[in-house]
Structure 1
Amino acid sequence: METILHFFRTYPEMAIFLTIGIGFWLGQLKYKSFSLGTVTSVLLVGVVVGQMDIPIPGPVKSVFFLLFLFSIGYSVGPQFFQSLKSDGIPQVIFACVLCILCLGVTVIIAKILGYNPGETIGLFAGAQTISAVIGVGTDTIGTLGVSESEKQAWLNIIPVCYAVTYIYGTIGSAYILGTLGPKMLGGLEKVKQKTRELEAQMRKGSIEDDPALIDANRPVVFRAYCACSDWFDTQRTVADVEKQMQTLGRRIFVERVRSAGKVVDATPDQIIHKNDELVLSGRRETVIEDESWIGDEVNDPELLTFPVEDIFVMLTQKTAKGKTIRELRRQPFMHGIIIKKVKRTGVELPILANTKLQAGDLLEIVGMANDIKQASPKLGYVDRPTNKTDLIFVGLGILIGGIVGALTIRLGGIPISLSTSGGALISGLFFGWLRTKHPTFGRIPDPAVWIFNNLGLNMFIAVIGITAGPTFLSGIKEMGFIIFFAGILSTSIPLILGIWIGDKIFKFHPAINLGCNAGSRTTTAALGAIQESIESTVPALGYTVTYAVGNTLLILWGVVIVLLMS
């Protein structure tokens, strides 16, 4: 045993990786639908490992936490700034209201119970499931003019309060928004019906009603047919075939033609003779409908063997941003282009005719190389897959944010600053938005963002757990059961009020209302519960804007809480 203790005390970095490995493994375990989640698991494993009384160098946790905050800001920055000047303003205001409710309810409960800044930060972080506030609160506590022993006592109690309240924070939020919320809004069946009506309304598009405008997960297909029906007794062109498809309510393109034994790429004025073979492209549900007016499907490997591009494009151009999907697909440059997927702040949106696109949205499009080449410059920047991260951008961005965050002003003798962590978050927001304006630099691939988010936060949480380990059990005894009850109130009251406010004051559609509440509280688990409950992805339309605002405000509340409670 002494050998193990000596090893981890000599090499504390090994204790961190032990905590990360076991914590991530425990976080993946589920009992029915319940899971502790990665962050809570890492914290609890860290507490156990911390019983060995392992000293961890201070800068370690700060480095990883700054990476995490910068990447969070980078991810939501485009949506955050876009929401301030778009028709998403009501959702922005709602997110601000709910975030203020979360802050106000938690602080009032903490004041009633006589909690110190550390206890309040832990209560807020767990009840609102916003782990990052621990770091911001920790930095702010470090700037207070109190004794070092008192600061350390406050810091040690944070993970105790967080661990106790986080479980209900996660489960309770999902239950309130996924189960109780629909009941508050008229009942589950009524909410489902209104959501179906909204989906139908958003699919409408005059003569261009498009059955292809369905779930973005449906694959795009290419299939070959023989032009052997009587319809081709009259001379036809490729444009005639596509026009006939549109008349039938389908968005299908002719990509290739085999005529007189020769295979060529299709052009609008190309003549199609009877018994020629055609390659049609579109969504599976559209292409496999009855095509007897064309002829039989054929298996022609040579005709069907050709390169098709499937790329991601970041919307930056005025010719695309601000348009609905229906309006965009009417543009001449979109001929031959199938929209396969739309993502906003990492959340996949339902592809409906009236879904409005915004700057910074990521579109996955499929088409022939020539069509892609024509369309992509009119859409924005082609975000081709790469494994390279612009670390110059990351390093200087965090440095600039840290400098800004370190600036301190005094109000009534109280030092006030964003702290380096708050500065890194604000810097991430700015640089994430800047990349939508100048996308040729500052690329952080999704896998790198995942690493920064997950490893960055959990490295920080691991160090918090290990450091607090020796005093964790005594902290549990000190706080008692009342902290769990305080967490239930801090989680439930803002969400219940938020559902009511979204319905009665903001007049949101029920599905959008629930999505806005989930986004404002940055709880992805609750969004999943809502979508499963009402059997629709429409709530995601209320999630993205509010998530960007909520993620920013809830983290920055760490500074406010410490100042209010000190």
Structure 2
Amino acid sequence: MATWEWVVAILRGSPELAIFLALAIGYWVGGIKLGNFSLGAVTGTLLAGVLIGQLGIDISPQIKSIFFIMFLFAVGFGVGPQFVRGIASDGLPQAIFAIVISMLCLASVYIAASISGYGPGLAAGLLAGTQTISASIGLATNAISQLDLSPEEIQQQLDLIPVAYAVTYLFGTVGTGWIIAFLGPKLLRINLQEECKRYEKEMSVGASEDGMHSAWHKYIIRAYELTTPGLIAGKTVSEAEASVDGRLFLENLRRGEKIIPFDGDTVLQVGDIVAVSGNHEALVEWSNRAKEVADPELLNIPVESVDVFITNKKANGKKLIELAQQPMARGVYVTRVRRGSMGVDIPLYAQTKIHRGDIVTINGTKKHIDDIIGEYGFADRPTSITDMVLVGAGIVLGGLIGAITVPIDGIPITLSVSGGALIAGILIGWLRSFIPKLGTVPSATLWFMNSVGLNIFIAVVGITAGPTFIAGLQQVGFEIFFWGLFATAVPMVLGPLIGKYIFRFDPAINLGCCGGARTSTASVAMVSEQAKSNVPMLGYTVPYAVSNTFLTLWGMVIVILLS
């Protein structure tokens, strides 16, 4: 008992330890999986914070403010390219769809709160839990703190946020996934697997007979001696490369004892030894026309795999099959395309479009890769250095702009410092997509700012609300769970129908758009599992970027509407 009292005294005297304890427990509990479901780090940390908060630990509110503003900047920075592209280019229908679904999410929460008589605290928690948008809690907290209420009333409202969030989050996560993945195809009256197969076939137009996987993924180099006139010997390099199906390239040429330079017009001769790169099937075809030999010197060609951050508008909106036909794409093989702040893997098909801000992983010789990098972007090589001038200045400038207050009908309207940091992150992330010298924020840093920044904020919320959590739960009763069912289900039931009849989305990506518009990565993963295809992910990134911003801002808006 004495040991327990000693631990409690230490946690009360050093609240920073209580925060880290909540993080440790939260990430551990949140990582436990029951089938495909897990609570996630945010909910795990909130519950751990509430439990630890029963000890009566005082924590400065400045701690959560610092980490929350850091989190919002990281969110904006990550979604910036997709957000702006969606608003300004061919992603506009998906962006508008995301705004419509975001408005439905806000309306469903507002209706539930108005009918049930909930105040801004419960409404904010209801929004965060049913829409699984934990970031909205921060902006709601800031907005409630500015209300014309006594300090006691403000604290009472703030303490109710985690109560409503905890009660409604479970169905907000599981229910969204179930509605989209299982009910969605029935609402659309489609066979999801068949639609995805049809879409894959359409997207593969222009690929080799073996498909984009063979044409783009496998990279082998072999050496061949040309022994028979008229097969390969006697043709130009360009003609020889085009003589087989699939992508095949001459990388080196030995004539006599010397390795000589060559171009597409160089005529190959009997006795030449060539180093050829390509997919396995194409090289097998070549082996029937030439003699494979061992030539270590000829095959000593530097080969690397590099992530390329696409910045040039020449690549923006271009299909892979179009880029493959460009001279600088010679000898380069695409193995992966990631998009958005979540690094979503985009399926590789001939008709897959590349967007500015994508990270494209390519394999090939150093010379060819350098040509691609120089033409389309910059090498996103691993680095541990963060440009804190960019991060610090961006947060300050955004915060200053967000702090500006505009009175409308006597109501002070402001983005708040936190909302300004979010907008600043979006603009800077977008600018960096075509001005890479603006600064570097490595993916590991973004993860820390995004995940740990949010969870420290949530830990403080939970610890602070801990002493009154049980009382708050008794006050709101089980009724709020059913309002949570309503607020979660309404937007997701209407979403697929709106996507089908108003926006005319392709059935294969419709449900991906719905999951993105609800910022629910788990639900889209469930859709892909049901579809046995990653095609739905093609509709995910633009709606996610737009809705992630709007749903976060709704934390402030719902307080204003109910105040």
Give me the TM-score of the superposition, normalised by structure 2.
Answer: 0.94
What is the aligned counterpart of 2:308 among 313, 317, 342? 313
Q: Distance in 1 between matches of 2:81 and 2:215?
A: 22
Moved more, 482-491 or 209-218: 209-218
- Structure 1 residue 447 and structure 2 residue 448: aligned? no
Deviations 1:239-266, CA, capped at 9 Å, x for gaps = 2321112xx2x11222234554655676
Give me the TM-score of the superposition, normalised by structure 1.
Answer: 0.93
Structure 1 partner of 2:18: 15
Structure 2 partner of 1:81: 84
Question: What SS does structure 1 have at the residue aligned with 2:336?
Answer: strand
Shift of the 51–375 alpha-carbon distance from structure 1 to 2, 3 Å rule, reads: same
| Cα contact 2:214–2:279 (8 A) shared by 1 | no
Shift of the 469–233 alpha-carbon distance from structure 1 to 2, 3 Å rule, reads: closer
Alignment of 1:259-278 (within 5 A): 259-260=255-256, 267-274=263-270, 277-278=273-274
- Structure 1 residue 52 and structure 2 residue 55: aligned? yes
Amino acid at match of 2:192: V
- Structure 1 residue 390 and structure 2 residue 387: aligned? yes
Shift of the 321–34 alpha-carbon distance from structure 1 to 2, 3 Å rule, reads: closer
Q: Distance in 2 between matches of 1:320 and 1:530?
A: 29
How far 1:462 sits from its partner (Å)?
Answer: 0.8
Amino acid at match of 2:306: I
How far 1:174 sits from its partner (Å)?
Answer: 1.2
| Cα contact 2:121–2:157 (8 A) shared by 1 | yes
| Cα contact 1:215–1:351 (8 A) shared by 2 | no
Shift of the 459–298 alpha-carbon distance from structure 1 to 2, 3 Å rule, reads: farther
Q: Distance in 1 between matches of 2:112 and 2:256?
A: 81
Amino acid at match of 2:202: Q
Question: What SS does structure 1 have at the residue aligned with 2:355?
Answer: coil
Structure 1 partner of 2:331: 336
Shift of the 416–258 alpha-carbon distance from structure 1 to 2, 3 Å rule, reads: same
Structure 1 partner of 2:242: 243
How far 1:145 sits from its partner (Å)?
Answer: 0.8
Structure 2 partner of 1:482: 479
Residues matched between the structures, number: 558
- Structure 1 residue 97 and structure 2 residue 100: aligned? yes
Amino acid at match of 1:108: I
Structure 1 partner of 2:204: 203
Q: Distance in 2 between matches of 1:341 and 1:201?
A: 20
Q: Distance in 2 between matches of 1:264 and 1:52?
A: 77
Shift of the 223–184 alpha-carbon distance from structure 1 to 2, 3 Å rule, reads: farther
Deviations 1:269-328, CA, capped at 9 Å, x for gaps = 4554556554333456x5566544334655655544431132222222232223222222
Q: Distance in 1 between matches of 2:313 and 2:496?
A: 35
Shift of the 292–105 alpha-carbon distance from structure 1 to 2, 3 Å rule, reads: same
- Structure 1 residue 467 and structure 2 residue 464: aligned? yes
How far 1:232 sits from its partner (Å)?
Answer: 4.0
Structure 2 partner of 1:541: 538
What is the aligned counterpart of 2:249 among 245, 248, 253? 253
Structure 1 partner of 2:430: 433
| Cα contact 1:99–1:520 (8 A) shared by 2 | yes
| Cα contact 1:77–1:428 (8 A) shared by 2 | yes
Q: Distance in 2 between matches of 1:226 and 1:299?
A: 10
Shift of the 461–294 alpha-carbon distance from structure 1 to 2, 3 Å rule, reads: farther
Question: What SS does structure 1 have at the residue aligned with 2:243?
Answer: helix
What is the aligned counterpart of 2:502 among 496, 505, 530? 505
Shift of the 297–14 alpha-carbon distance from structure 1 to 2, 3 Å rule, reads: farther
| Structure 2 unaligned residues grouped into runs of 5+ | none
How far 1:527 sits from its partner (Å)?
Answer: 1.3
Q: Distance in 1 between matches of 2:366 and 2:197?
A: 37
- Structure 1 residue 456 and structure 2 residue 453: aligned? yes
- Identity rate, percent: 45
Q: Distance in 2 between matches of 1:380 and 1:43?
A: 41
Shift of the 240–497 alpha-carbon distance from structure 1 to 2, 3 Å rule, reads: same
Q: Distance in 1 between matches of 2:222 and 2:54?
A: 63
Q: Distance in 2 between matches of 1:471 and 1:304?
A: 71
Shift of the 179–152 alpha-carbon distance from structure 1 to 2, 3 Å rule, reads: same
How far 1:216 sits from its partner (Å)?
Answer: 11
What is the aligned counterpart of 2:29 among 26, 30, 54? 26
Amino acid at match of 2:194: Q
Shift of the 479–352 alpha-carbon distance from structure 1 to 2, 3 Å rule, reads: same
Amino acid at match of 1:45: A
How far 1:375 sits from its partner (Å)?
Answer: 2.5
Q: Distance in 1 between matches of 2:325 and 2:276?
A: 19
Deviations 1:134-178, CA, capped at 9 Å, x for gaps = 001001111111111111011111111111111111111111111
| Structure 1 unaligned residues grouped into runs of 5+ | none
Q: Distance in 1 between matches of 2:229 and 2:214?
A: 35
| Cα contact 1:531–1:539 (8 A) shared by 2 | yes
How far 1:8 sits from its partner (Å)?
Answer: 0.7
Q: Distance in 1 between matches of 2:455 and 2:278?
A: 43
Moved more, 470-479 or 356-365: 356-365
